[in-house]
Amino acid sequence: MFSPTDRPKRIYQMTHGVLNLPRNPLLDLLFGHSLINCHVEHHLFPFLSDNMCLKVKPVVSKYLTEQKLPYQEDGYVSRLTMFFHKYQELMVFAPSITELVGVQ
């Protein structure tokens, strides 16, 4: 997504590459808030606890909106539909992991 030698600041990387999904009690219980509902906040502040991620979520959302940066949120059905329609691109024709990390 970004060149390894000429990457933008972390805030631009995280706001363009991460999205939040709605809260789900089962997923919150199994994985915590930061993995699903506060994913943007988790990537911006990786050492915050799950409860703090929930508390800073409105502040982060407001700040990113004011700075004209994307605050990406989407629903489960929309993501599943997108994955279904782009399955070939995302799973079949995707480069191998060794190409992505530079291991040959």
pLDDT higher for 60 or 2?
60
Q: Indicate whether 1 pLDDT > 60.
A: no
Side-chain-side CA neighbours of residue 68 (13 Å): 0
Of 14-28, 38-52, 61-75, 88-102, the least confident: 88-102
* 102 pLDDT higher than 70: no
Q: Cβ(23)–Cβ(38) under 8 Å?
A: no
What average pLDDT does this structure show over 55-72?
Answer: 93
pTM score, whole prediction: 0.76
Is the Cβ–Cβ distance between 22 and 37 less than 8 Å?
A: yes
Residues 52 and 59 sit within 8 Å (Cβ to Cβ): no
CB 45 within 8 A of CB 63: no
Q: Which 8-state DSSP code applies to residue 5?
A: S
